[in-house]
Structure 1
Amino acid sequence: MTSSALTLKTASGLSPKLMLCLAATWLVWGSTYLAIKLALTSLPPFLQMGSRFLVAGVLLAGWMRWRGVPWPSRRQWLHALVIGGLMLGGGMGGTAAAEQTVGSGLVVAFIAVMPLMIAGLNLLWGEKPGRLESLGIAFGLVGVLLLTQGQGFGASPLGLVAISVACASWAVGSVLSQRVWPLAPGPMGFASEMLAGGAVLMGLSLANGEALPAHVEPQALWAWAYLVVFGSLVAFNAYMVLLAEASAGLASSYSFVNPVIAMLLGVTLAGEQISGHEWLAAGIVLVGVVLLLLGRARTPSR
């Protein structure tokens, strides 16, 4: 390791690899929600997401096989099906479904509650939150309740249901991948999850009667390609690396950066309308997330 890399690790407490993974989940994912919205102009939600992850999974798995990495075992494929079905089928599929009727910025503001949900699920394994973490969870819940009362979600009950299911599925999948059903090691594990999750999403697409339109808008194709390369191959794999090598709190820290980026992009580039009430609610959620992460940072055992 070079001296500059050593200095970087000493100053931040994180290796350069983990810092790059954080940057990918913070910045890239913040922009992918607008890309999902743009792709929805031509591509229905489950078809869009299923094809995205299948293509990314095939590319990543092919690269790994070319390098001599073996396929996952039968048990690891089963884990990939469960985790992929939850995180991609329920999580990303529900997110795209919600964005049909709710602005991308508001969807991500709701998703910011994810670390709080993960903290709650970890109670099942005896991981009790400290005082600061409990305060963060309380702030987050208040913020989400305020957010659901705003004009965006108030006008779309189905969108609220879809994003609630998405958040719950993603949180459960994240916890289970760490504690119960680990994937195959390294990128091949991530590829198997994308392949399995993509298959689940395509099944949901078929069940919902989705079809590829006769004409696909160029902006939808570019947005879809961006999601494949940056959203799936770059940011999603970075998130799985963080889940495998860092704490759950650090892995989910993207949640307090993504909403700010997504809301600003939604307003400036997509003309989305976000009320002062909804900005306030999102701010309260972010305060809760920051308090939660500060509480985790002060607990040596984590």
Structure 2
Amino acid sequence: MIITSTASQRAMFVFICFVWGTTWLAMKIGIATVSPGVFAGLRWSIAGAILLAFRRFRGQRVMPPPRLIARLLFVSILLITLNQVIQLYALKHITAGLAAVISSALTPIALLVFAVGCGQERFNIRQLGAIGVGIIGVLVLFGPAALAGRLDVWEMIGAAGVIISCLCYSAGSVMTRPIMRTLEPVQLAGLTDLTGGLILLLASLAVEPGAWRSMQFHWGWPALLAWLYLLVPGALLSTTMYLMLVRDWGASRSGTYAFISPVIAVVIGCGFFGEKLDWGDAAGMTLMLGASGLALRPARLRPVPSTARAVSSSTA
């Protein structure tokens, strides 16, 4: 079966690329004054509660079938709890730029490997070529700056944390696709956000230093605005759109946002923070955009069962 792209799917992809290209800065601002577990746990649990309340208001199903509860719990811990807490603590020890390098280079590869391993996609040379070009672009764009200094022990730990969080996120993303044969994307996003966010928040309040002090909400305006940005565009909108694309496009193709998001981060840095863009940066961005264009060509995926296609029709 040939998977094609509609205008609405392409628009969702562009939106995800922009928002997730700016979340690294928002997270960095937030965790400067708020404990990471509380900052992320509140964000995701509230996002999930809003999505599920919206479905309830519309008279739609909220609770999953009992047979999916254990799988949903596991996916929620991977996608939200482990991914977020490891990622945010890693950001305390490395720059947002280096974190973007690691995430951008690893995410599409991990998504493809997990998707092929789960039998959702067929490996092809074009995908490998697109990923290779994208990685070269990431290295051209960020590599010289990342290699300018030496990594100390904590920087190495931070880099390892970003890698682990990326693997958790990629594995969880691939595992969501079979669940969407039964659950709609908004329902799945709400359940995983609420479950993973509550687990993270409760664990933070139990063991994380400074968590109860953060619950007094003396955050300051920069952290509060960063949290609101991460909540609305970053969680409520982008995550739901991403799950819809995973359902319709497959995980590895949807994951090519990771080649474009760093480009957006560089453009914003130049436009609003006076950062300079040289020819090497321009070449890197061109390579990443080209890689995404190659990977976004219609790909041959395994058919999604009719129940999932029915969900697609009802949520488009």
Give how far 1:183 is off: 6.7
Cα distance per residue 1:261-302 (max 9 Å; x no partner) = 22444577679999999x69x939x84785476257365457
Cα distance per residue 1:210-230 (max 9 Å; x no partner) = 413463111101111111111
- The yes-or-no answer on 1:21 pairing with 2:12 is yes
Matched-pair contact (CA < 8 Å) for 2:109–2:252: no
- The yes-or-no answer on 1:124 pairing with 2:125 is no
1:297 is paired with a residue of what secondary structure?
A: coil
- The yes-or-no answer on 1:261 pairing with 2:260 is no
Structure 1 gap ranges (5+): 1-12
Alpha-carbon distance between aligned partners in 2 of 1:89 and 1:274, rounded to the nearest angstrom: 36
**Which amino acid in the other structure matches residue 209 of structure 1?**
P
**Which amino acid in the other structure matches residue 283 of structure 1?**
G
Residues 223-242 of structure 1 correspond to what in structure 2 (within 5 A)?
223-242=226-245
Structure 2 gap ranges (5+): 303-316
Give how far 1:121 is off: 2.0
Aligned to 1:115: 108
Distance 1:276 1:17, change over 3 A: closer
Give how far 1:98 is off: 2.0
Matched-pair contact (CA < 8 Å) for 2:189–2:243: yes
Residues 283-294 of structure 1 correspond to what in structure 2 (within 5 A)?
283=284, 287=287, 290-291=290-291, 294=294
**Which amino acid in the other structure matches residue 53 of structure 1?**
W
Query: When the two structures are superposed, what TM-score results if normalisation uses the length of structure 2?
Result: 0.76
- The yes-or-no answer on 1:32 pairing with 2:23 is yes
Alpha-carbon distance between aligned partners in 1 of 2:298 and 2:248, rounded to the nearest angstrom: 19
The two structures, once aligned, show a CA RMSD in angstroms of: 3.5
Give how far 1:50 is off: 0.7
How many aligned residue pairs are there? 287
Give the percent of matched residue pairs that are identical in Structure 1 and Structure 2: 23
Alpha-carbon distance between aligned partners in 2 of 1:106 and 1:53, rounded to the nearest angstrom: 25
**Which amino acid in the other structure matches residue 135 of structure 1?**
G
Alpha-carbon distance between aligned partners in 2 of 1:201 and 1:272, rounded to the nearest angstrom: 35
Give how far 1:57 is off: 1.0
Matched-pair contact (CA < 8 Å) for 2:180–2:188: no
1:129 is paired with a residue of what secondary structure?
A: coil
| Residue of 124, 127, 150 corresponding to 2:147 | 150
Residues 1-302 of structure 1 correspond to what in structure 2 (within 5 A)?
14-70=5-61, 71-113=63-105, 114-125=107-118, 127-138=121-132, 147=143, 150-151=147-148, 154-155=151-152, 156-179=155-178, 184-205=183-204, 206-211=206-211, 212-213=213-214, 215-265=218-268, 283=284, 287=287, 290-291=290-291, 294=294, 297=297, 299-301=299-301
